[in-house]
Structure 1
Protein backbone atom coordinates (compact mmCIF):
# COMPACT_ATOMS: atom_id res chain seq x y z
CA UNK A 1 0.00 0.00 0.00
CA UNK A 2 1.50 3.35 -1.03
CA UNK A 3 2.04 5.87 1.80
CA UNK A 4 -0.29 8.89 1.82
CA UNK A 5 2.66 11.09 2.73
CA UNK A 6 6.30 10.60 1.72
CA UNK A 7 8.64 9.07 4.25
CA UNK A 8 11.46 11.40 3.26
CA UNK A 9 11.89 15.18 3.15
CA UNK A 10 13.93 15.19 -0.05
CA UNK A 11 12.26 15.00 -3.44
CA UNK A 12 12.69 12.20 -5.90
CA UNK A 13 14.47 13.05 -9.14
CA UNK A 14 13.38 11.17 -12.26
CA UNK A 15 15.91 11.21 -15.09
CA UNK A 16 14.64 11.88 -18.60
CA UNK A 17 11.13 12.08 -19.99
CA UNK A 18 10.52 8.50 -21.12
CA UNK A 19 7.13 6.86 -20.70
CA UNK A 20 7.94 4.64 -17.70
CA UNK A 21 9.77 7.48 -15.96
CA UNK A 22 6.87 9.89 -16.38
CA UNK A 23 4.42 7.18 -15.26
CA UNK A 24 6.48 6.68 -12.09
CA UNK A 25 6.82 10.43 -11.57
CA UNK A 26 3.07 10.93 -11.85
CA UNK A 27 2.36 8.15 -9.35
CA UNK A 28 4.94 9.54 -6.92
CA UNK A 29 3.39 12.99 -7.21
CA UNK A 30 -0.09 11.58 -6.61
CA UNK A 31 1.20 9.77 -3.49
CA UNK A 32 2.48 13.06 -2.04
CA UNK A 33 6.16 12.88 -2.92
CA UNK A 34 7.94 16.00 -4.19
CA UNK A 35 9.11 15.10 -7.71
CA UNK A 36 11.40 16.84 -10.17
CA UNK A 37 12.73 15.84 -13.58
CA UNK A 38 16.36 15.85 -14.66
CA UNK A 39 16.42 16.44 -18.40
CA UNK A 40 18.33 18.39 -21.03
CA UNK A 41 15.74 21.13 -21.56
CA UNK A 42 15.20 23.89 -19.01
CA UNK A 43 11.85 24.69 -17.43
CA UNK A 44 8.95 22.59 -16.18
CA UNK A 45 7.54 19.70 -18.19
CA UNK A 46 3.78 19.40 -18.65
CA UNK A 47 2.17 16.12 -19.71
CA UNK A 48 -1.04 14.14 -19.52
CA UNK A 49 -1.18 10.62 -18.09
CA UNK A 50 -3.98 8.47 -19.48
CA UNK A 51 -4.68 5.24 -17.65
CA UNK A 52 -7.55 2.79 -17.79
CA UNK A 53 -9.57 4.66 -15.16
CA UNK A 54 -8.29 8.24 -15.11
CA UNK A 55 -6.78 11.14 -17.02
CA UNK A 56 -4.37 13.33 -15.07
CA UNK A 57 -2.53 16.44 -16.24
CA UNK A 58 0.71 17.34 -14.47
CA UNK A 59 3.50 19.88 -14.67
CA UNK A 60 6.75 18.82 -13.00
CA UNK A 61 9.69 21.11 -12.28
CA UNK A 62 13.07 20.56 -13.88
CA UNK A 63 16.00 20.11 -11.44
CA UNK A 64 14.96 22.58 -8.76
CA UNK A 65 16.61 20.89 -5.80
CA UNK A 66 20.15 19.59 -5.60
CA UNK A 67 22.09 17.71 -4.46
CA UNK A 68 19.94 14.78 -5.54
CA UNK A 69 19.27 12.27 -2.77
CA UNK A 70 16.84 9.81 -4.39
CA UNK A 71 17.07 9.23 -8.14
CA UNK A 72 15.15 6.99 -10.53
CA UNK A 73 16.99 6.33 -13.82
CA UNK A 74 14.51 4.69 -16.21
CA UNK A 75 16.71 5.30 -19.26
CA UNK A 76 17.81 2.89 -22.00
CA UNK A 77 20.63 0.55 -20.98
CA UNK A 78 23.11 2.07 -23.44
CA UNK A 79 22.57 5.53 -21.86
CA UNK A 80 22.92 4.53 -18.19
CA UNK A 81 26.67 4.92 -17.65
CA UNK A 82 26.83 8.31 -19.38
CA UNK A 83 23.78 9.51 -17.43
CA UNK A 84 25.36 8.55 -14.10
CA UNK A 85 28.62 10.26 -15.06
CA UNK A 86 26.71 13.46 -15.84
CA UNK A 87 24.78 13.19 -12.56
CA UNK A 88 27.86 12.68 -10.37
CA UNK A 89 28.44 16.38 -9.50
CA UNK A 90 24.77 16.67 -8.45
CA UNK A 91 24.57 13.59 -6.23
CA UNK A 92 24.42 13.76 -2.46
CA UNK A 93 27.10 11.85 -0.57
CA UNK A 94 24.52 9.22 0.41
CA UNK A 95 22.42 9.34 -2.76
CA UNK A 96 20.29 6.34 -3.73
CA UNK A 97 20.09 5.50 -7.46
CA UNK A 98 17.46 3.15 -8.88
CA UNK A 99 18.16 1.72 -12.35
CA UNK A 100 15.26 0.43 -14.45
CA UNK A 101 15.70 -0.81 -18.02
CA UNK A 102 15.73 -3.87 -20.27
CA UNK A 103 18.87 -5.97 -20.56
CA UNK A 104 21.87 -6.46 -18.30
CA UNK A 105 25.42 -5.20 -18.02
CA UNK A 106 24.96 -1.71 -16.59
CA UNK A 107 25.44 -2.58 -12.93
CA UNK A 108 29.08 -3.42 -13.57
CA UNK A 109 29.47 -0.04 -15.30
CA UNK A 110 27.78 2.04 -12.59
CA UNK A 111 29.09 0.59 -9.31
CA UNK A 112 32.67 1.87 -9.86
CA UNK A 113 31.29 5.39 -10.47
CA UNK A 114 29.64 5.65 -7.04
CA UNK A 115 31.07 6.87 -3.76
CA UNK A 116 31.21 4.33 -0.89
CA UNK A 117 28.02 5.62 0.77
CA UNK A 118 25.96 5.93 -2.41
CA UNK A 119 23.41 3.14 -2.86
CA UNK A 120 22.49 1.33 -6.07
CA UNK A 121 19.22 -0.50 -6.76
CA UNK A 122 17.59 -2.23 -9.69
CA UNK A 123 13.86 -2.10 -10.33
CA UNK A 124 12.40 -4.46 -12.93
CA UNK A 125 8.81 -3.74 -13.94
CA UNK A 126 6.16 -5.26 -16.17
CA UNK A 127 4.05 -2.08 -16.31
CA UNK A 128 3.42 -1.02 -19.88
CA UNK A 129 3.54 2.62 -20.99
CA UNK A 130 4.26 4.52 -24.16
CA UNK A 131 4.07 8.06 -25.54
CA UNK A 132 1.90 8.57 -28.64
CA UNK A 133 3.25 12.13 -28.61
CA UNK A 134 5.75 14.11 -26.58
CA UNK A 135 3.32 15.30 -23.90
CA UNK A 136 1.04 12.26 -23.49
CA UNK A 137 1.76 9.05 -21.58
CA UNK A 138 -0.54 6.05 -21.98
CA UNK A 139 -0.45 3.50 -19.15
CA UNK A 140 -1.12 0.65 -21.56
CA UNK A 141 -0.76 -2.31 -19.23
CA UNK A 142 -0.98 -2.84 -15.48
CA UNK A 143 2.00 -4.73 -14.12
CA UNK A 144 4.09 -5.32 -11.06
CA UNK A 145 7.71 -4.70 -10.09
CA UNK A 146 10.60 -6.28 -8.24
CA UNK A 147 13.28 -4.27 -6.45
CA UNK A 148 16.69 -5.33 -5.22
CA UNK A 149 19.66 -3.67 -3.53
CA UNK A 150 22.99 -3.99 -5.36
CA UNK A 151 25.41 -2.76 -2.69
CA UNK A 152 25.58 -2.37 1.09
CA UNK A 153 24.98 1.39 0.99
CA UNK A 154 21.55 0.75 -0.52
CA UNK A 155 20.42 -1.32 2.47
CA UNK A 156 20.73 1.71 4.78
CA UNK A 157 17.90 3.44 2.89
CA UNK A 158 15.79 0.36 2.19
CA UNK A 159 12.63 1.62 3.88
CA UNK A 160 12.57 4.94 2.00
CA UNK A 161 13.37 3.47 -1.41
CA UNK A 162 10.95 0.56 -1.04
CA UNK A 163 8.07 2.84 0.01
CA UNK A 164 8.65 5.23 -2.88
CA UNK A 165 8.94 2.52 -5.53
CA UNK A 166 5.81 0.88 -4.17
CA UNK A 167 4.03 4.17 -4.84
CA UNK A 168 5.70 4.66 -8.22
CA UNK A 169 5.36 1.25 -9.88
CA UNK A 170 3.69 -1.10 -7.44
CA UNK A 171 2.63 -3.65 -6.47
CA UNK A 172 6.24 -4.17 -5.49
CA UNK A 173 8.19 -7.18 -4.28
CA UNK A 174 11.49 -6.56 -2.50
CA UNK A 175 14.02 -9.30 -3.27
CA UNK A 176 17.21 -9.96 -1.35
CA UNK A 177 18.68 -11.47 -4.54
CA UNK A 178 17.27 -9.82 -7.65
CA UNK A 179 19.58 -11.54 -10.14
CA UNK A 180 17.32 -14.56 -10.88
CA UNK A 181 14.48 -12.16 -11.75
CA UNK A 182 16.75 -10.13 -14.01
CA UNK A 183 17.94 -13.26 -15.79
CA UNK A 184 14.36 -14.47 -16.28
CA UNK A 185 13.37 -11.12 -17.79
CA UNK A 186 16.48 -11.29 -19.96
CA UNK A 187 15.33 -14.70 -21.22
CA UNK A 188 12.03 -13.24 -22.38
CA UNK A 189 13.64 -10.12 -23.86
CA UNK A 190 16.33 -12.14 -25.66
CA UNK A 191 13.61 -14.01 -27.55
CA UNK A 192 10.81 -11.53 -28.14
CA UNK A 193 12.73 -8.30 -28.69
CA UNK A 194 15.25 -9.45 -31.33
CA UNK A 195 12.72 -11.55 -33.26
CA UNK A 196 10.13 -8.77 -33.41
CA UNK A 197 12.84 -6.26 -34.35
CA UNK A 198 14.16 -8.52 -37.11
CA UNK A 199 10.75 -9.33 -38.56
CA UNK A 200 9.14 -5.97 -37.70
CA UNK A 201 6.06 -7.56 -36.19
CA UNK A 202 3.87 -7.37 -33.10
CA UNK A 203 4.67 -9.67 -30.19
CA UNK A 204 1.61 -11.81 -30.88
CA UNK A 205 2.82 -12.83 -34.33
CA UNK A 206 5.55 -14.89 -32.65
CA UNK A 207 2.85 -17.37 -31.63
CA UNK A 208 2.82 -18.56 -35.26
CA UNK A 209 4.42 -21.95 -35.92
CA UNK A 210 6.79 -20.14 -38.30
CA UNK A 211 8.77 -18.98 -35.26
CA UNK A 212 8.62 -22.14 -33.13
CA UNK A 213 12.02 -23.52 -34.12
CA UNK A 214 13.79 -20.19 -33.65
CA UNK A 215 12.20 -19.61 -30.23
CA UNK A 216 13.16 -23.11 -29.09
CA UNK A 217 16.79 -22.64 -30.16
CA UNK A 218 17.09 -19.22 -28.50
CA UNK A 219 15.71 -20.59 -25.23
CA UNK A 220 17.93 -23.68 -25.26
CA UNK A 221 21.03 -21.55 -25.82
CA UNK A 222 19.95 -19.13 -23.11
CA UNK A 223 19.65 -21.95 -20.56
CA UNK A 224 23.18 -23.11 -21.42
CA UNK A 225 24.80 -19.75 -20.75
CA UNK A 226 22.59 -19.02 -17.73
CA UNK A 227 23.58 -22.34 -16.15
CA UNK A 228 27.29 -21.58 -16.60
CA UNK A 229 26.63 -18.16 -15.07
CA UNK A 230 25.17 -19.70 -11.92
CA UNK A 231 21.46 -19.39 -12.77
CA UNK A 232 19.12 -22.38 -12.68
CA UNK A 233 16.44 -22.44 -15.40
CA UNK A 234 14.67 -25.21 -17.27
CA UNK A 235 13.93 -25.00 -20.99
CA UNK A 236 10.31 -26.01 -20.40
CA UNK A 237 9.64 -23.37 -17.74
CA UNK A 238 11.19 -20.61 -19.82
CA UNK A 239 9.32 -21.73 -22.93
CA UNK A 240 6.08 -21.49 -20.95
CA UNK A 241 7.01 -18.03 -19.69
CA UNK A 242 7.94 -16.73 -23.14
CA UNK A 243 4.66 -18.05 -24.62
CA UNK A 244 2.77 -16.46 -21.74
CA UNK A 245 4.31 -13.04 -22.40
CA UNK A 246 3.70 -13.36 -26.15
CA UNK A 247 0.02 -14.06 -25.43
CA UNK A 248 -0.35 -11.32 -22.79
CA UNK A 249 1.33 -8.68 -24.98
CA UNK A 250 0.03 -9.91 -28.33
CA UNK A 251 -1.07 -6.47 -29.52
CA UNK A 252 2.11 -4.71 -28.36
CA UNK A 253 5.24 -3.83 -30.26
CA UNK A 254 8.44 -4.55 -28.33
CA UNK A 255 10.72 -1.64 -27.42
CA UNK A 256 13.43 -3.01 -29.72
CA UNK A 257 11.00 -3.33 -32.63
CA UNK A 258 10.05 0.31 -32.11
CA UNK A 259 13.68 1.39 -31.91
CA UNK A 260 14.55 -0.29 -35.19
CA UNK A 261 11.35 0.92 -36.87
CA UNK A 262 12.17 4.51 -35.93
CA UNK A 263 15.91 4.32 -36.61
CA UNK A 264 16.91 4.77 -32.97
CA UNK A 265 19.72 3.06 -31.05
CA UNK A 266 18.53 -0.13 -29.38
CA UNK A 267 19.40 -2.20 -26.31
CA UNK A 268 20.66 -5.07 -28.48
CA UNK A 269 24.14 -4.93 -26.92
CA UNK A 270 22.63 -5.26 -23.43
CA UNK A 271 20.28 -8.12 -24.31
CA UNK A 272 21.70 -10.42 -27.00
CA UNK A 273 25.13 -8.80 -26.75
CA UNK A 274 25.24 -9.41 -23.00
CA UNK A 275 24.43 -13.09 -23.53
CA UNK A 276 27.17 -13.43 -26.13
CA UNK A 277 29.74 -11.79 -23.82
CA UNK A 278 28.73 -14.11 -20.98
CA UNK A 279 29.02 -17.12 -23.29
CA UNK A 280 32.47 -16.03 -24.48
CA UNK A 281 33.71 -16.03 -20.88
CA UNK A 282 32.84 -19.75 -20.75
CA UNK A 283 34.11 -20.55 -24.27
CA UNK A 284 30.51 -21.30 -25.26
CA UNK A 285 29.05 -20.74 -28.71
CA UNK A 286 25.48 -19.46 -29.14
CA UNK A 287 24.93 -19.75 -32.90
CA UNK A 288 21.24 -18.75 -32.91
CA UNK A 289 21.80 -15.65 -30.77
CA UNK A 290 24.98 -14.83 -32.72
CA UNK A 291 23.12 -15.01 -36.04
CA UNK A 292 20.29 -12.73 -34.94
CA UNK A 293 22.81 -10.32 -33.35
CA UNK A 294 24.73 -10.04 -36.63
CA UNK A 295 21.57 -9.52 -38.68
CA UNK A 296 20.31 -6.78 -36.39
CA UNK A 297 23.72 -5.14 -36.07
CA UNK A 298 23.74 -4.63 -39.82
CA UNK A 299 20.44 -2.72 -39.50
CA UNK A 300 21.34 -0.76 -36.38
CA UNK A 301 21.85 3.03 -36.54
CA UNK A 302 24.90 2.57 -34.32
Structure 2
Protein backbone atom coordinates (compact mmCIF):
# COMPACT_ATOMS: atom_id res chain seq x y z
CA UNK A 1 0.00 0.00 0.00
CA UNK A 2 1.34 3.43 -0.87
CA UNK A 3 2.27 5.64 2.07
CA UNK A 4 1.85 9.42 2.27
CA UNK A 5 4.93 11.63 2.29
CA UNK A 6 3.33 13.58 5.14
CA UNK A 7 -0.04 13.29 6.88
CA UNK A 8 -1.80 15.73 9.18
CA UNK A 9 -1.65 13.62 12.33
CA UNK A 10 2.11 14.17 12.32
CA UNK A 11 1.30 17.79 13.21
CA UNK A 12 0.49 16.41 16.67
CA UNK A 13 4.15 15.37 17.17
CA UNK A 14 3.01 12.20 18.91
CA UNK A 15 1.40 14.16 21.76
CA UNK A 16 -1.73 12.03 21.67
CA UNK A 17 -2.68 8.64 20.33
CA UNK A 18 -6.35 9.56 20.70
CA UNK A 19 -7.51 12.38 18.46
CA UNK A 20 -10.55 13.32 16.44
CA UNK A 21 -10.53 13.13 12.66
CA UNK A 22 -13.00 13.29 9.77
CA UNK A 23 -14.25 9.72 10.33
CA UNK A 24 -14.63 9.95 14.12
CA UNK A 25 -15.85 13.54 14.65
CA UNK A 26 -19.51 14.43 15.00
CA UNK A 27 -18.97 17.90 13.51
CA UNK A 28 -16.28 19.68 11.47
CA UNK A 29 -15.61 23.39 11.21
CA UNK A 30 -13.74 24.09 8.00
CA UNK A 31 -12.06 27.50 7.94
CA UNK A 32 -10.10 28.82 4.98
CA UNK A 33 -8.15 32.03 4.54
CA UNK A 34 -5.68 33.63 2.15
CA UNK A 35 -2.32 34.64 3.57
CA UNK A 36 -1.41 38.23 2.83
CA UNK A 37 1.61 38.90 0.66
CA UNK A 38 4.73 39.40 2.70
CA UNK A 39 6.09 37.27 5.51
CA UNK A 40 4.23 33.99 4.94
CA UNK A 41 6.67 32.18 7.26
CA UNK A 42 5.55 34.35 10.18
CA UNK A 43 1.93 33.63 9.32
CA UNK A 44 2.56 29.90 9.28
CA UNK A 45 4.34 30.08 12.63
CA UNK A 46 1.33 31.86 14.14
CA UNK A 47 -1.03 29.28 12.61
CA UNK A 48 1.08 26.45 14.00
CA UNK A 49 1.09 28.07 17.44
CA UNK A 50 -2.66 28.30 17.36
CA UNK A 51 -3.18 24.70 16.23
CA UNK A 52 -0.67 23.41 18.78
CA UNK A 53 -2.49 25.29 21.54
CA UNK A 54 -5.85 23.71 20.73
CA UNK A 55 -4.44 20.23 20.29
CA UNK A 56 -2.39 20.39 23.50
CA UNK A 57 -4.74 22.29 25.82
CA UNK A 58 -8.17 21.30 24.53
CA UNK A 59 -7.60 17.79 23.17
CA UNK A 60 -10.57 16.54 25.19
CA UNK A 61 -12.84 18.78 23.10
CA UNK A 62 -11.27 19.16 19.66
CA UNK A 63 -8.49 18.36 17.22
CA UNK A 64 -7.40 20.80 14.53
CA UNK A 65 -5.37 19.97 11.42
CA UNK A 66 -3.98 22.51 8.96
CA UNK A 67 -3.77 22.10 5.17
CA UNK A 68 -2.84 24.12 2.10
CA UNK A 69 -4.13 24.17 -1.46
CA UNK A 70 -2.22 21.58 -3.46
CA UNK A 71 -2.81 22.99 -6.95
CA UNK A 72 -5.17 25.89 -6.28
CA UNK A 73 -4.30 29.31 -4.90
CA UNK A 74 -0.84 29.73 -3.44
CA UNK A 75 -0.78 30.53 0.31
CA UNK A 76 -4.43 29.57 0.87
CA UNK A 77 -4.70 27.92 4.27
CA UNK A 78 -7.38 25.50 5.47
CA UNK A 79 -8.16 24.47 9.04
CA UNK A 80 -10.29 21.44 9.89
CA UNK A 81 -11.52 21.70 13.45
CA UNK A 82 -12.92 18.33 14.54
CA UNK A 83 -15.47 18.20 17.37
CA UNK A 84 -17.42 15.41 19.01
CA UNK A 85 -20.48 17.63 18.77
CA UNK A 86 -21.41 21.22 18.03
CA UNK A 87 -22.24 21.38 21.74
CA UNK A 88 -18.48 21.49 22.41
CA UNK A 89 -17.91 24.61 20.33
CA UNK A 90 -19.25 27.11 22.92
CA UNK A 91 -16.95 25.54 25.52
CA UNK A 92 -13.96 26.25 23.29
CA UNK A 93 -15.16 29.81 22.75
CA UNK A 94 -15.47 30.37 26.51
CA UNK A 95 -11.93 29.12 27.02
CA UNK A 96 -10.50 31.36 24.33
CA UNK A 97 -11.46 35.04 24.67
CA UNK A 98 -9.80 37.09 27.36
CA UNK A 99 -6.22 36.11 26.66
CA UNK A 100 -5.41 32.74 28.20
CA UNK A 101 -2.09 33.13 30.05
CA UNK A 102 -0.60 29.99 28.50
CA UNK A 103 -1.56 30.41 24.87
CA UNK A 104 -3.45 32.28 22.17
CA UNK A 105 -6.17 34.68 23.20
CA UNK A 106 -8.81 32.72 21.30
CA UNK A 107 -8.74 28.93 21.37
CA UNK A 108 -11.11 28.55 18.42
CA UNK A 109 -9.17 29.73 15.40
CA UNK A 110 -9.14 33.36 16.39
CA UNK A 111 -6.31 35.75 17.28
CA UNK A 112 -3.05 34.23 18.38
CA UNK A 113 -0.34 35.92 20.45
CA UNK A 114 1.12 37.42 17.29
CA UNK A 115 0.51 41.18 17.53
CA UNK A 116 0.10 41.50 13.79
CA UNK A 117 -2.46 38.66 13.50
CA UNK A 118 -4.98 40.80 11.52
CA UNK A 119 -2.24 41.64 9.02
CA UNK A 120 -1.43 37.99 8.27
CA UNK A 121 -4.54 37.38 6.12
CA UNK A 122 -6.11 39.10 3.15
CA UNK A 123 -9.10 41.11 4.42
CA UNK A 124 -12.39 39.41 3.68
CA UNK A 125 -10.80 36.09 2.76
CA UNK A 126 -11.60 34.22 5.97
CA UNK A 127 -14.69 31.99 5.81
CA UNK A 128 -16.09 29.08 7.78
CA UNK A 129 -18.32 26.15 6.85
CA UNK A 130 -19.84 23.74 9.36
CA UNK A 131 -20.04 20.13 8.13
CA UNK A 132 -22.09 17.39 9.76
CA UNK A 133 -21.62 13.74 8.77
CA UNK A 134 -24.65 12.57 6.83
CA UNK A 135 -26.94 10.04 8.47
CA UNK A 136 -29.99 8.38 6.95
CA UNK A 137 -33.02 10.37 8.07
CA UNK A 138 -31.52 13.77 7.21
CA UNK A 139 -33.25 15.97 4.65
CA UNK A 140 -35.84 13.69 3.14
CA UNK A 141 -34.05 10.36 3.55
CA UNK A 142 -36.19 9.08 6.44
CA UNK A 143 -37.85 5.72 5.80
CA UNK A 144 -40.83 3.80 7.14
CA UNK A 145 -38.41 1.40 8.83
CA UNK A 146 -36.99 4.29 10.87
CA UNK A 147 -40.47 5.24 12.03
CA UNK A 148 -41.35 1.68 13.00
CA UNK A 149 -38.06 0.50 14.52
CA UNK A 150 -36.52 2.72 17.22
CA UNK A 151 -33.20 0.85 16.92
CA UNK A 152 -32.58 2.32 13.47
CA UNK A 153 -34.23 5.69 14.08
CA UNK A 154 -31.91 8.71 14.20
CA UNK A 155 -34.36 10.45 16.56
CA UNK A 156 -33.89 9.92 20.28
CA UNK A 157 -35.81 11.42 23.22
CA UNK A 158 -34.15 14.18 25.22
CA UNK A 159 -36.38 15.25 28.05
CA UNK A 160 -39.67 16.39 26.58
CA UNK A 161 -38.08 16.96 23.16
CA UNK A 162 -36.79 14.74 20.37
CA UNK A 163 -33.18 15.02 19.25
CA UNK A 164 -31.55 13.98 15.94
CA UNK A 165 -28.46 11.96 16.80
CA UNK A 166 -25.64 12.65 14.34
CA UNK A 167 -23.18 9.78 13.97
CA UNK A 168 -19.50 10.06 12.97
CA UNK A 169 -18.79 9.43 9.28
CA UNK A 170 -17.25 6.04 10.05
CA UNK A 171 -20.83 4.80 10.50
CA UNK A 172 -21.41 5.42 6.77
CA UNK A 173 -19.20 2.49 5.77
CA UNK A 174 -18.77 -1.19 6.53
CA UNK A 175 -15.03 -0.69 6.06
CA UNK A 176 -13.03 -1.57 9.23
CA UNK A 177 -11.35 1.28 11.05
CA UNK A 178 -7.85 0.05 10.20
CA UNK A 179 -8.55 0.43 6.46
CA UNK A 180 -10.17 3.85 6.74
CA UNK A 181 -8.30 6.83 5.31
CA UNK A 182 -9.29 10.03 7.12
CA UNK A 183 -8.15 13.60 7.70
CA UNK A 184 -5.39 12.45 10.03
CA UNK A 185 -3.68 9.78 7.96
CA UNK A 186 -4.42 10.93 4.39
CA UNK A 187 -1.61 12.22 2.22
CA UNK A 188 -4.07 14.43 0.33
CA UNK A 189 -7.79 15.21 0.67
CA UNK A 190 -10.04 16.21 -2.19
CA UNK A 191 -12.99 18.28 -1.03
CA UNK A 192 -15.90 18.04 -3.46
CA UNK A 193 -18.95 20.29 -3.15
CA UNK A 194 -22.08 20.00 -5.28
CA UNK A 195 -25.65 21.23 -5.02
CA UNK A 196 -28.63 18.91 -5.26
CA UNK A 197 -31.88 19.97 -6.89
CA UNK A 198 -34.56 20.42 -4.25
CA UNK A 199 -37.00 18.12 -6.05
CA UNK A 200 -34.55 15.22 -5.88
CA UNK A 201 -32.76 16.04 -2.61
CA UNK A 202 -33.39 12.58 -1.15
CA UNK A 203 -32.25 10.82 -4.34
CA UNK A 204 -29.08 12.94 -4.38
CA UNK A 205 -28.07 11.72 -0.96
CA UNK A 206 -28.80 8.08 -1.81
CA UNK A 207 -26.67 8.48 -4.94
CA UNK A 208 -23.80 10.17 -3.07
CA UNK A 209 -23.75 7.61 -0.29
CA UNK A 210 -23.79 4.74 -2.80
CA UNK A 211 -20.93 6.18 -4.86
CA UNK A 212 -18.92 6.81 -1.68
CA UNK A 213 -19.36 3.27 -0.35
CA UNK A 214 -18.58 1.76 -3.75
CA UNK A 215 -15.23 3.54 -3.53
CA UNK A 216 -14.62 2.51 0.06
CA UNK A 217 -15.22 -1.18 -0.58
CA UNK A 218 -13.32 -1.25 -3.88
CA UNK A 219 -10.18 0.73 -3.03
CA UNK A 220 -8.87 -1.66 -0.38
CA UNK A 221 -7.68 1.01 2.04
CA UNK A 222 -6.14 3.33 -0.54
CA UNK A 223 -8.94 5.91 -0.25
CA UNK A 224 -12.09 6.57 1.76
CA UNK A 225 -15.01 8.85 0.87
CA UNK A 226 -17.55 10.30 3.30
CA UNK A 227 -20.58 12.56 2.82
CA UNK A 228 -21.28 15.66 4.92
CA UNK A 229 -24.10 18.17 5.12
CA UNK A 230 -23.56 21.93 5.24
CA UNK A 231 -25.22 23.02 8.48
CA UNK A 232 -25.52 26.80 8.28
CA UNK A 233 -24.95 27.73 4.65
CA UNK A 234 -26.48 26.76 1.31
CA UNK A 235 -29.41 24.37 1.58
CA UNK A 236 -28.78 21.07 -0.22
CA UNK A 237 -25.11 21.75 -0.85
CA UNK A 238 -23.45 18.38 -0.33
CA UNK A 239 -19.83 17.93 0.64
CA UNK A 240 -17.62 14.90 0.10
CA UNK A 241 -14.21 14.46 1.66
CA UNK A 242 -12.22 12.09 -0.56
CA UNK A 243 -9.23 10.94 1.49
CA UNK A 244 -6.28 9.46 -0.42
CA UNK A 245 -3.14 7.79 0.88
CA UNK A 246 -1.08 9.74 -1.64
CA UNK A 247 -1.53 11.82 -4.76
CA UNK A 248 -0.80 8.73 -6.84
CA UNK A 249 -3.98 7.14 -5.43
CA UNK A 250 -5.95 9.42 -7.75
CA UNK A 251 -4.89 7.24 -10.70
CA UNK A 252 -6.24 4.17 -8.90
CA UNK A 253 -9.58 5.92 -8.42
CA UNK A 254 -9.64 6.86 -12.09
CA UNK A 255 -8.98 3.22 -12.92
CA UNK A 256 -11.90 2.17 -10.73
CA UNK A 257 -14.24 4.55 -12.56
CA UNK A 258 -13.01 3.36 -15.97
CA UNK A 259 -13.54 -0.34 -15.33
CA UNK A 260 -16.09 -2.04 -17.60
CA UNK A 261 -16.10 -5.56 -16.15
CA UNK A 262 -19.24 -7.12 -14.70
CA UNK A 263 -18.27 -6.13 -11.14
CA UNK A 264 -17.35 -2.54 -11.96
CA UNK A 265 -19.12 0.04 -9.74
CA UNK A 266 -19.54 2.49 -12.66
CA UNK A 267 -23.11 1.20 -13.08
CA UNK A 268 -23.97 3.67 -10.31
CA UNK A 269 -23.46 6.51 -12.79
CA UNK A 270 -25.72 5.16 -15.52
CA UNK A 271 -28.60 3.61 -13.60
CA UNK A 272 -31.87 5.41 -12.93
CA UNK A 273 -31.92 7.06 -9.51
CA UNK A 274 -35.26 8.79 -9.95
CA UNK A 275 -38.46 6.74 -9.72
CA UNK A 276 -40.75 6.58 -12.74
CA UNK A 277 -43.54 8.39 -10.89
CA UNK A 278 -41.17 11.40 -10.85
CA UNK A 279 -40.26 10.97 -14.52
CA UNK A 280 -37.23 8.70 -14.06
CA UNK A 281 -33.66 9.68 -14.80
CA UNK A 282 -30.01 9.20 -13.88
CA UNK A 283 -27.79 11.26 -11.58
CA UNK A 284 -27.49 14.16 -14.03
CA UNK A 285 -31.07 15.22 -13.15
CA UNK A 286 -30.27 15.09 -9.46
CA UNK A 287 -27.41 17.60 -9.30
CA UNK A 288 -27.42 21.26 -10.34
CA UNK A 289 -25.38 21.51 -13.52
CA UNK A 290 -22.09 23.35 -13.05
CA UNK A 291 -22.28 23.33 -9.24
CA UNK A 292 -19.60 20.70 -8.60
CA UNK A 293 -16.24 22.04 -7.43
CA UNK A 294 -13.13 20.19 -6.26
CA UNK A 295 -10.32 21.46 -4.03
CA UNK A 296 -7.23 19.39 -3.27
CA UNK A 297 -5.68 19.82 0.18
CA UNK A 298 -2.20 18.86 1.38
CA UNK A 299 -1.37 18.68 5.12
CA UNK A 300 0.87 21.54 6.22
CA UNK A 301 4.38 20.34 7.05
CA UNK A 302 5.77 22.23 10.04
CA UNK A 303 9.29 20.82 9.69
CA UNK A 304 10.37 23.73 7.50
CA UNK A 305 9.39 26.33 10.12
Tell whether the structures are fold-level matches, with TM greater than 0.5.
Answer: no
Q: Which has the higher contact order (CA 8 A, sep 6+)?
A: 2
Structure 1 or 2: more helix by fraction? 1
Which structure's CA Rg is the greater one? 2
TM-score by length of 2: 0.31
